[in-house]
Amino acid sequence: MLNVIITNNLYNINIERAVLCTAVFEPTKFEEIAVQLKADDFYHPFHQNLFTAMEELHKNDQPIDEEFLREKLAKKNQFNEVAFLDVLSANPLSNINAYINQIKQKAKNRKMLYIVAKIKHKIEAGESNAAEVAAQIMANVDSMFVGTDIEVYIAKAKYKQAILQKIKKLKKLKESEFVELEEEKIYDEVIEKLENKIGINQKKEWDDSFDEWLDSIDMDPDEVENKKVEYVIQNLVVKNGITVFFGPSGGGKSTGVIGISYTALLDGTIKRVIYLDLDNGDTTIQERKIHELKRILRQRLRYISQDENKVWRMIKELLKRDLHDTMIVFDSAKNFMKGKDRDKNKDVSELTEVFKRLRNNGATIIALHHTNKPNQEMDEYEQVYAGSSAWREDVDNMFLLVTNKYKNTFIFVPSKNRVGIIEEQAYKIENHIIEKVETEWAKEDAEFEEIRDQVISFIEDCKTPPTFSQILTFLIESGYSKNKSNKVIQKGKGRYWKIEKIKKNNKNLYFLIQPEEAETKFKVVEFEKKNKASSDKCDKSDKSYFRDFSKSDNCGQVRTSVDKNYVYDMKNNYSKKGYCNV
């Protein structure tokens, strides 16, 4: 038998009487009391029995008053006339929460004392060792403090929810045709009391505790000032941001992002890539040689594909992790919407919320997305993303990705810029590694080069420098469209030819640019052919007027480096047709 001495500081009979008295004389407050206290929180045995009787009466929708309580307790042989009169003679409380907290705290202290006494008894009797004692203490304390508190919070929430439902029902009844005009005032009074009971419409004071809470969530100006934008790929992919690359189906988005991923890993701007692929099958993955990359990168590249359940399990695990220096790719985004509509903001925002949560854990997010079906008259660089505005609104940066199959280049065109400094840029990809090239060169197709060469030859053949209209007339008469011809002439300014205004007749005349006059510096380099076999494999389609000296495949193929150096191809010998109407 345990001998536990309960001192006066472990209970307060007067507080217990006052709380119970309040429940008797103001039964509407019983629900508020009941959600916070249990019978065994009271120290006095009669108070425990009285509270239990109140709970039973309330559950059975019976009034909590003196007669019903007396009858209930008498049936159980628990009635104590003196103790009951002591409760009834106490003063009801207007604000009972402080008194309830006192009762709960003293109850916890008594329970703790009982736990200590019980464990002490077991040790003295040789029933427990030190490890068992420690485990018992932890288990009992957890159940006493954590378990009890959460039960109180749940009970409070249920209580407030029940009151809220009553308010809604009363408001609905008030609008009924059976409620008379003079009765509405009664409804309003009851509704107001219930709203006050659960804190609706009550304004709290702006006190020090509220300021302390605001301080904990307020902006830190020093932290903002010292924040630096980092890049996975300079001016293309912002680290710890959400970037969307959109383009037409089969337009090279996956290939481009694989190149970005591999290059970033090699450069060390990130430590690992999680590539979640719900778009491509095994054959496509094999053709892109992703398996070879996996062998090289091992754990630094995690490539999860096809199985949606595995992918979402992976995402759930990632949401629990620190994801700094981790890049996560969603290919393609619409496949992660679980059958929902990409045209609805609400549905799209559910997915982008996942992106944001991962970003908040430190991750860099890349999502691949599609364009609308292009209009035949629309320029490919004017394509727009498919679906709702949330695809744009909920992310940091956005690019249209256009591929030029003629030059095997990938052009990234900014569509939205919220974080960092991003810019239009182009790349070639070899062995999964991206290499920056001059953007305008990357956009040139076969017809562009053909027209460009015609313009160069025309300017060379003219005895005097031609005007814009003379060049345009020549191209149109040669069978090229006016729009395409004009585009080539404008794009070639500063790269292949320049304009000088003649003061005498105020005309703009066109001159070919010499190497020393180019907008960017370049060197003159002659490319050597190692052997005929290698030259036969070269791509001779490109006859750019300026060449990059930094890289060569022995046939003058442009490989423009990051510093944008160009090379004048000494082998280009433009034919002189003798055509000039100047």
Environment class of 360 (CB within 10 Å of its CB; exposed 0-12, middle 13-18, buried 19+)? exposed
Integer Cα distance of 208 and 367 in angstroms: 44
What is the Cβ-side half-sphere exposure of residue 152, based on CA atoms within 13 angstroms? Answer: 17
What tokens appear for 40 in the block? 């065994």
Class of domain 230-442: alpha beta
pLDDT at 39: 94
Predicted local confidence at residue 45, as pLDDT:
95
Give CA–CA dist 62/175, Å, rounded: 29
Radius of gyration of the chain (CA): 40
What integer pLDDT is reported at residue 157 of this predicted model?
Answer: 80
**Residues 86, 16: Cα–Cα separation, whole Å:** 11
Which residues lie below 8 Å from residue 359, measured CB to CB, with a gap of 6+? 240, 241, 242, 365
Q: What CATH class does 446-517 carry?
A: mainly alpha
**pTM exceeds cut of 0.75:** no
Which pLDDT value is given to residue 261?
Answer: 97
Give the pLDDT confidence score for residue 134 in this predicted structure: 62
pLDDT on residue 192: 87
- What pLDDT shows up at residue 304? 95
pLDDT at 95: 83
What's the rounded Cα separation, in Å, for the pair 159 and 37?
A: 13
Burial (Cβ within 10 Å: 0-12, 13-18, ≥19) of residue 431 = exposed
Residue 293 has what DSSP assignment? Answer: H
Instruction: Provide the pairing of β-strand 272-277 with 326-331.
Output: parallel
DSSP state of 528: P
Q: Which CATH class is domain 1-130?
A: mainly alpha
Looking at residue 198, its pLDDT comes to 78
Vertex 287 angle, CA 444 and 254, to 5°: 55
Name the strand (E) or helix (H) holding 405: none
Regions in the chain scoring below 50 on pLDDT: 1, 520-579, 581-582
C-beta separation of 127 from 37 below 8 A: no
Domain ranges of the chain: 1-130, 152-202, 230-442, 446-517
Q: Using the structure block, give the residue that is written with the tokens 């040789």.
A: 126
* Rounded distance between C-alpha atoms, residue 69 and residue 74, angstroms: 8
